[in-house]
Amino acid sequence: MNAPVAAIDCGTNAIRLLVADVRPDGTLDERVRLMRIVRLGEGVDRTGEFAPPALERTFTALDEYADVMREHGVTRARFVATSASRDVSNRDAFVRGVQTRIGIEPEVITGTEEAALSFTGAVRGLPTGKVALPALVVDIGGGSTEFVLGSSGPEDSVSVDIGCVRMTERHLHGDPPTAAQIVSARTDIDAAVALAALSVPYERAASFVGLAGTVTTVAAMAMDLPAYDPTVLHGSVISVDDVSRVTAILLGMTRAERAALPYMHPGRVDIIGGGAMVLESAMRAAGAAEVTVSETDILDGIVYRLVVE
């Protein structure tokens, strides 16, 4: 087997690492999968630049990832930066910091490329026959949400600026959010989901696949898991009614109550309500009765693409 490859996904809320080998049959042999909540996009929607503390948190995580990559003998890697990194005025400081720590330049990819990578990672990572095609894959990030429809590969895709961090910073300021704040967020989200439908024909989808931390956390709550368990969550199916129920409960909870949930990652406590609202709106707009949950995502797509290239 060849030396492992590495993928780094730097989003608005989290930075994640996957180190994996690709088997001869094309499946992944995962060695390490890590996530650190760094909130790189904190305040970007308001200021248009990365805050110095956010950059430092990100660089600290990258120092750790550089050590992990050396330990596993990684010889090829790709660093993908998504929503928040497209829009900032001090992007050069971010690029220099990444190059200093891991020796490669971050690629600030378009929403279309992000959607394609997410689709590949999600659909190839689910068991064969688990998802009816064509599938609508929805990747809810911190700053944006990607919608991509396809069968053997992505056919139609779009990225819209509704993510869990962005919606929380714009609208959901209360503890818990007020009714007026929730209405404001829902109006914003529904408009963006309707806009996405102009580029991606939801009605063609035979199934709805959701990925990223919002989706897995909502699923864990719907299933009332005693702890976060990716082996249980991957490939699970959650009804739209359960998504709506969980969303309403989350929006009615205080921060302390959300933090006490056994499956809640500390970095998602503040933003999970906004993300759940995006998931619910997308499912309603697509007419989806259920969502198939995927623990594989853009990281897996990056690794597949590295090997193909």
Q: Are residues 154 and 204 in the same domain?
A: yes
Q: What is the pLDDT of residue 289?
A: 97
Q: Which residue has the higher pLDDT, 136 or 120?
A: 136
| 259: in domain | yes
Mean pLDDT to the nearest integer, 154-163: 91
Q: Are residues 66 and 189 in the same domain?
A: no
Q: Are residues 86 and 199 in the same domain?
A: no
Q: Are residues 18 and 95 in the same domain?
A: yes
Mean pLDDT to the nearest integer, 174-195: 97
Q: Are residues 101 and 144 in the same domain?
A: no
Give the domain CATH number at 151.
3.30.420.150
User: Given pLDDT bands bounded at 50, 70 and 90, which one contains residue 256?
Assistant: very high
User: Given pLDDT bands bounded at 50, 70 and 90, which one contains residue 309?
Assistant: low
| pLDDT, tens digit, 9 for 90 and up, residues 85-120 | 666 788 888 989 999 999 988 888 887 788 888 888
Instruction: Check: pTM over 0.95? Answer yes or no.
Output: no
| 122: in domain | no
- HEC readout, the chain: CCCCEEEEEECCCEEEEEEEEECCCCCEEEEEEEEEECCCCCCHHHHCCCCHHHHHHHHHHHHHHHHHHHHCCCCEEEEEECHHHHCCCCHHHHHHHHHHHHCCCCEECCHHHHHHHHHHHHHHHCCCCCCCCCEEEEEECCCCEEEEEECCCEEEEEEECCCHHHHHHHCCCCCCCCHHHHHHHHHHHHHHHHHHCCCCCHHHCCEEEEECHHHHHHHHHHCCCCCCCHHHHCCCEEEHHHHHHHHHHHHHCCHHHHHCCCCCCHHHCCCHHHHHHHHHHHHHHHCCCEEEEECCCHHHHHHHHHHHC
Q: Are residues 95 and 20 in the same domain?
A: yes
Quick one: what percent of the chain has pLDDT higher than 70? 97
Q: Are residues 11 and 38 in the same domain?
A: yes
Structural domains counted in the chain: 2
| 83: in domain | yes
Q: Are residues 270 and 166 in the same domain?
A: yes
How buried is 228 (Cβ within 10 angstroms: 0-12 exposed, 13-18 middle, 19+ buried)? middle
Q: Are residues 138 and 231 in the same domain?
A: yes
Give the domain CATH number at 20.
3.30.420.40
Q: What is the pLDDT of residue 1?
A: 52
Contact 17, 98 (CB under 8 A): no
Q: What is the pLDDT of residue 129?
A: 80
Quick one: what percent of the chain has pLDDT higher than 90? 67
Q: Are residues 21 and 51 in the same domain?
A: yes
Residue 293 has pLDDT above 70, yes or no: yes
Residue 291 has pLDDT above 70, yes or no: yes
| 194: in domain | yes
Q: Are residues 279 and 137 in the same domain?
A: yes
User: Given pLDDT bands bounded at 50, 70 and 90, which one contains residue 11?
Assistant: confident
Amino acid letter for position 11: G
Residue ranges making up the domain that contains 244: 127-294
Q: Are residues 102 and 165 in the same domain?
A: no
| 140: in domain | yes
Q: What is the pLDDT of residue 113?
A: 85
